[in-house]
Structure formats: C-alpha cells, structure tokens
Amino acid sequence: MGMEWPPTPAQQRKAVVASGSALKLVLFVILAGLALRLLVGPAAYLLPPTAAPEGAARLFPAPGMERTGGGGIPSVEMDDAVFTLTSSEPLTALDKKEGSPKPEESCDLFHGEWVPNSSGPAYTNASCRFIESPQNCMTNGRPDTDYLNWRWKPYGCEVPPFDGKKFLDGMKGKHWALIGDSILRNHVQSLLCLLSKVEDATEVYHGDTFRSRRWHFPSHDFTVSLIWAPFLVKAKIFEDDDGVSTADLQLHLDVLEKNWTSQWESFDYVVISTGQWFFKTAVYWENGVAIGCHSCQNKTLKERPPEYSFRRALKVAFQFITSSPHKPVVFYRTWAPSHFENGEWFSGGTCNRTAPFKPGEAGDREMDNKMWRIEREEFDNAVANKGPIDGDRLKLLDTFELSLLRPDGHSGPYRAYHPYVKGMTAQVQNDCLHWCLPGPIDAWNDVLMKMLAKD
C-alpha cells in the first residue's frame, strides 16, 4: 500500500481557484433567481400566505389599500393607515381621514382648568351698558383685575372666544329664552354684552319688577327673553330684594310656573336652570295638599330636605319638555355653586380670593355635589324617556366644574358702589354667588357657542 503525500503548493493553488469559481457560479445563480422573481413579482402575491402560529398577531392592510400592481412598493396612502393589533382575529386598519374620531369630537368641554389669558376680557364696563350695578365690579371699585385674565381650557381641546357675528348671523329670525333665577339674569347680561360688539339690543318688554324682560336685535330679527322662574314650578314668594322673608315660601311641586310654559311654543332655543332657591324655608304642596316643608314654622308638617323638592321640580319640568309637541333645542344648565367662606350671605360670609382654584383645591362640597348629582340623574332619565323628542334636542350645559374653580370671580363686597369708602372695617354684605361682569360667567357663553358649532 503506497503512502498518500500531502498536495504540493501548486496543487493547493489549483484547488483554491476551482473552489472559488464554483462559489462565484452559485452566487450568480442566486442573484439571477432574485432578479427573475422581481420581474415576475405579481405571481409571488398569488401564492397562499404562510400560516401564522396559532394566537399570533397578523397584519392586514385597510380595504382599498391592498397591493394591486407589480413590484413590492406599497401605495403612499399606506402611511396614513392605523393598524390595530389583535391576538387571534385579523387586524383591521382604520383610515385616519375617515374612521378615527378627531380629538375635538371626543373632548369633554366641561372638564378642564383655567389658564392665563393675555387677551383680557371681551368687553368692559365702559363698552357694555347691560351690566347691572350688583355685577359691575369695576365701576363699584374692585381694586384687583387678575380675575379678568383667565380662560377656560378643557383637557384635550380648545374653546374659542364667543363669536357674536357668527352667532347672530346663524340665529336670524330665532327666539332664545333663558328661564330660571337671578343666575340666569347674570347669564343673559353676559350674552347681551358679547352680542353688543356686533349689534346693540333694544328692550321691548319688561315685567313690573324687571325680573322678566325681552330684547330684540332688529338687524338680525333675533329675540332674547329672560323669564323669571326661580323654582320652575309654581311658587308664592314673600321676600324682598335683600332676601328678607315675611312668610314661608309656598311651593307647588306638581305645577309648573305658567310664565314660561305659556310661552313655550314661541321659543326656538332655551337655556333653563334652577338651584340655590331650594335651600330656602318652604312649605311643599302636591295635589293641593301640604305634604311637608323645609325648616318651616309649622311643626306638624313632615320635615323634608331641599333635595326632595329639587328632584321633584326637575322631574316635572323635564316631563313637560320631553312630552311637549313643540321641540325647541333645550340646554339644561347645571348647578351654580357659591363660594362663601367664614359664614353664609346672612352671617358675614366673604369671598376675597383673587385667583382660581387649581383642580382638587375646592375642597369638600358635599351639598353642591349632591344637588349636581340629582340634576344629572334627572337629566339622564329625561333623555332616556324622551319619546318623540326630535333628535338630540335636550342637551346638558354642565358649567358646574368650571364655575366651582372660580372663587375669585364673584362680586363679593363690590355688589355695592365703593363699599369701603368709609374704611376697610365697614360692615359689608358679600355676594359670593353672582358673578362680576366681565368675568368667569362669560365662559358659559363660550362653551354654549362651541356646543352650537358642534351641531
């Protein structure tokens, strides 16, 4: 048997060359195959897809975005597709231009915070003649002005300033009614001031006490009515403008106040509300019989809390609104909180703050929150049982949170003209319920305008 010697250097070089040539040939064949696959690309997409492992996520293009031509380059529109991962079902892609809700559409207008506003108020006491004396804080000598430089900012969206021209142009020939207590009077003054930048209103009616009034904008044939109905239900009231009573209120919880129901068919839009009056001493009537009272002198009547009468009045009012054959657009405005500290209006309470609360700073507002929950429950019940009401014509104008955060916006001692002219120690009654004008209540109209624009 002969021995096998290792190859000579010359033989090694030949082997290397041969193997290198073979490698080049293999690479050429692979590249040629890839080139051919690209040239006949459409056929590749006719092959059945490789099955994904069970439970694994799969990705499918949106309808109308499938690859339809040769080559592997997707349409530019694919960049706009939003893909959702699922564990077992085929993925669907929502086109952002068509299916996904816009941030503005999902924004809660009533949940947010007050942020600085360098633009200042939309009007002043000098530019608007509709501000009544108890809310004319600037004329009455309020020394600070920081309360004028804030705007309401919902989380996730913006509320533009009220646009008086757009509002009046859109409301030609319409009749608005604001129905409720003195907070609604405060509200209507704000609305008139904002609109006066476009057209000055003419008063065409007022009641004997000026609590119910009506204004007309002749160039736009637009009417605004303020209707005094502090309980919405029928009430016999025995008190003066300073809140001093000579007898207990008589409140008929099953009978609505005719001064607003008798005019209902003339209204195209309604802002309606009630509130703080239910804390007053009152005797409650139903079916012509006294069924109880709140803090009344007649101790033979059953004591009932204000929550009882509040809920009953709301229920009757909503029943009328939803069952009436006339269907104006109705905004129910929620509870307006007061900000008395160190007492109430009748016991030396004050409101001397000069900046808004930050979220969470308002503290425990048990009664305010309780009344707010009641009205939202009754509103939800009304919407659920609205029957033949046309479309979404009953709306919630939920101003509670944005109002709660503004303890600095009330008239306070400046409900009176220069209350401290005789010295800062003077005994002055504060108003910590109504709002300075201009002031935070103007944001109610900003939000109202935004709600109208969304529709």
Which residues does the annotation mark as catalytic?
Answer: 182, 431, 434
Judge whether 45 and 69 are in contact, CB under 8 Å: no
Count of all residues that appear for the chain in the document: 455
As given in the structure block, the two tokens for residue 311 are 């809920």
- DSSP state letters, 230-280: SSSEEEE--B-TT--BSS-EEEEEEEE-HHHHTTGGG-SEEEE---GGGGS
| CA-based end-to-end distance of the chain | 104
Which residues on adjacent β-strands are paired with residue 217? 222
Judge whether 158 and 117 are in contact, CB under 8 Å: no
Which 3 state secondary structure label does DSSP give 385?
A: coil
Cα angle 126, 135, 241; round to 5: 135
**Of 244, 240, 197, 247, which is closest to residue 217 (Cα–Cα)?**
197
Residues with Cβ within 8 Å of residue 22, at least 6 apart in sequence: none
Judge whether 149 and 199 are in contact, CB under 8 Å: no
Q: How many CB atoms lie within 10 A of CB 438?
A: 25
Burial label, 394 (beta-carbon count in 10 A; 0-12, 13-18, 19+): buried
The HSE-up count of residue 382 (CA atoms within 13 Å, CB side) is 29
To the nearest 10°, report the CA torsion of 371, 374, 379, 384. 170
Cα(289)–Cα(308) distance, integer angstroms: 16
Distance (Å) of CA 453 to CA 22, 100, 273: 75, 20, 22
The continuous run of DSSP H or E covering 28 comes out as helix 9-39
Residues with Cβ within 8 Å of residue 340, at least 6 apart in sequence: 349, 350, 351, 430, 432, 433
Beta strand 269-272 pairing with 222-228: unpaired
